[in-house]
Amino acid sequence: MDNQDKLVYLAFDLGASSGRAILGRAGPDGQIRLEEIHRFGNAPVQTNEGLFWDIESLFEQMIQAMRLVAKRGIRLRAVGVDTWGVDFALLDENGDLLEQPRCYRDARNAGMSRRIVERIGATRLAERTGSMFQDMSSLCQLVAAAEDTPDLLARAKTLLFMPDLLRYWLCGKSGTDCTIAGTSQMYDVVRREWAADILSELNLPSEILPPVAIGPTVVGTLGEEIREKTGMGALPVVSGAGHDTGAAFGVCTSEDLPPPEDLVVVSSGTWAVLGIFVDEHLPAGTLEPTRFGYEANPDGSLLLISNLTCAWLIEQSRKSFSAAGADCSYEALAAAARAAACGASASAIIDPQWDGFVHPPDMPAAIAGYCRSTGQPVPETPGQFAHVIFNSLAESYAETIDELRAKTSRPLRNLYMIGGMSRNEYLNELTARRAGVNVIVGPAETTATGNVAVQMQAVKT
């Protein structure tokens, strides 16, 4: 085994639909080469009490992946975890879960953002946290917990976001990083501090919030129990890119890309995070906070982003199509969508952000209902539904890019598409035409690459 084979890192990349364990190898040319070694599903579980994540099952899948690595005799240099944003777990004084973590799509969050704005004021909340006003934010979820399960919240000693909880179970050390804290609507990404005053005004406990690290950090090593379960040694556990978007955007700084004033990045998966790199907040009142907000790169620098629904629509539609016996591969649906493009039944434009698409029992039925209610033709075939979805996503991207151009006076002539949906050539074509941009297709695995890059920086190899 040569020296380069020894520089191996394990990245856990957990999304709202699936999770993966990926090995990253640092090549002699400085490039990071990835190898997926384990993939597993992830879906929220609906109970009478609400919508929850089965976090223990996800962690067991991580343990299984580490066993696979150990059995192959691979000696890792470090391990890191990234996940989707906003969701969190509440732990008691013994470090145990008070309940399963809630999913951001939980019905109890509906309307919460508007109610918080009524109490705090939109201008002050936007200036203090810089986050988008969305019902799924951690702040909204914490207010919902205070109203719905006040006894549980009163017992909470620590709040940990999803990647922080999984790292805590790996090494016994709690804490968070700026990329995941920046999704919460409780963290000031400019001042680099929790907005404790906002929480106080909402009668929320700020003392349960964990310390925030800026930049790649080794937070601990695998605990004894985890070492015994996996067959691994005292492996460093790294923090720094807990949010999958932060991990992905953190590697979008290549000299081969256009300069920031001419570049929009879309990291697309279940959600599409569309953003630009900025040095500071725009003047107060410039942005509509229900549309835009600020998040952090791993080094603490700023992103101006908009969270847009993306693959969720087609993923949920595929489930219904599959149940009806249709060919549900992405390739088949993209081809069928292209063929249906000129037909009247595929001409509708839907709003991907519509509340009715948050968690419907049948996505095609929800889309059909939206079309009827807005007086548009109703799609009937999988190809027609797929075209409506892809064309509507392209329209959503274009409208958001147009807004950014108007607010920043930047030309933004290039769109760098990364993440899983970047491989959808038809969506890329629709977006290029509608938004008037040159689409540059980047790697689908930027999140895992960013995760590994942060580990490399943390252990300084």
284 class by beta-carbon count within 10 Å (0-12 exposed, 13-18 middle, 19+ buried): exposed
Of the listed 135, 148, 244, 256, which one is catalytic? 244
Token match 């809630």: residue?
Answer: 102
Q: Could you give the CA distance from residue 83 to residue 14 in angstroms, rounded to a whole number?
A: 5
- Tokens for 27, please give them: 């090549």
CA angle 85, 249, 133 (to 5 degrees): 40
C-alpha–C-alpha distance, residues 84 and 333, integer Å: 26
Backbone φ and ψ of 278, nearest 5°:
-130, 155
Q: Are 383 and 340 in contact (CB under 8 A)?
A: yes
Residue 27 burial class via C-beta count within 10 angstroms: exposed 0-12, middle 13-18, buried 19 and up: exposed
Query: What is the distance between the alpha carbons of residues 204 and 90, in angstroms, rounded to a whole number?
Result: 13
Count CB atoms within 10 A of the CB of residue 108.
19
Structure tokens at 338: 């292209």
Residues constituting the chain: 461
Both tokens assigned to 415 = 């769109």
| Helix (H/G/I), strand (E/B), else coil: 145 | helix
Over its C-alpha atoms, the chain yields an Rg (Å, rounded) of: 22
Q: Which residues contact 172 (CB under 8 A, 6 or more apart)?
A: 220, 223
- For the question of residue 29 being annotated catalytic, the response is no
Instruction: Give catalytic residues, as residue numbers.
Output: 244
